[in-house]
Structure 1
Amino acid sequence: MEVIIFENESLVAKRAASMLADLLSIKPSAVLGLATGSTPIKTYQELIKKFNNGEVSFKDVSTFNLDEYVGLKSDNKQSYQYFMREQLFDFIDIQLDNTHFPICLNAKENQQVAENYEAIINAKMGIDLQLLGIGHNGHIGFNEPSSSLASRTRLKTLTRSTIEVNSRLFEAGETQPTMAMTMGIGTIMDANHILLIATGEGKAEAVRNAIEGAISASCPASILQMHPHVTVLLDKNSASLLQNTAYYQRVAEQVKELN
Structure 2
Amino acid sequence: MEVIIAPDRHKAALLVARIVAKELRADPRLVLGLATGRTMERVYACLVDLHRGEGLDFSVCSTFNLDEYIGIPADHPCSYRRYMDEHLFAQVNVAPGRTHLPDGMAPDLGAECRRYESLIQAAGGIGLQLLGIGSDGHIGFNEPLSALRSRTREKALTPSTLEQNAPMFGGDPAAVPRRAITMGVGTILDSRRCLMLVTGESKAAILAKAVEGPITSMVTASALQLHPRCQVVVDEEAAAHLQGIDYYRWIFANEPEWAEFRGA
In structure 2, the partner of 1:135 is: 134
The one-character-per-residue Cα deviations of 1:129-169 (angstroms, maximum 9, x if unpaired) are 00000001000000001000000000000001100111121
In structure 2, the partner of 1:175 is: 175
In structure 2, the partner of 1:33 is: 33
In structure 2, the partner of 1:47 is: 47
In structure 2, the partner of 1:215 is: 215
Greater than 3 Å deviation, 4+ residue runs: 172-175, 256-259
Q: How much does 1:44 deviate?
A: 0.3
CA contact (8 A) 2:252 2:258 kept: no
**Alignment RMSD (CA, Å):** 1.4
In structure 2, the partner of 1:206 is: 206
In structure 1, the partner of 2:13 is: 13
Q: Which runs of 5+ in 1 are unaligned?
A: none
Q: How much does 1:4 deviate?
A: 0.4
The one-character-per-residue Cα deviations of 1:88-136 (angstroms, maximum 9, x if unpaired) are 1110000111000111215x62210110000000001100000000001
Q: Does 1:102 align with 2:114?
A: no
Distance 2:175 2:20 in 1: 34
Distance 1:197 1:44 in 2: 12
In structure 2, the partner of 1:154 is: 153
Number of equivalent positions: 258
Q: 1:63 to 1:258 in 2, by over 3 A?
A: closer
Distance 1:257 1:86 in 2: 33
The more displaced of 164-173 and 60-69 is: 164-173
Give the TM-score normalised by structure 2: 0.95
CA contact (8 A) 2:166 2:175 kept: no
The one-character-per-residue Cα deviations of 1:37-83 (angstroms, maximum 9, x if unpaired) are 01111010000000001331100010000000001111100000000
In structure 2, the partner of 1:231 is: 231
Distance 2:170 2:222 in 1: 33
Distance 1:24 1:257 in 2: 17
Distance 1:205 1:162 in 2: 17
Distance 1:129 1:172 in 2: 32
Q: 1:131 to 1:258 in 2, by over 3 A?
A: closer
Q: 1:213 to 1:60 in 2, by over 3 A?
A: same
In structure 1, the partner of 2:22 is: 22
Q: How much does 1:253 deviate?
A: 1.5
Give the TM-score normalised by structure 1: 0.97
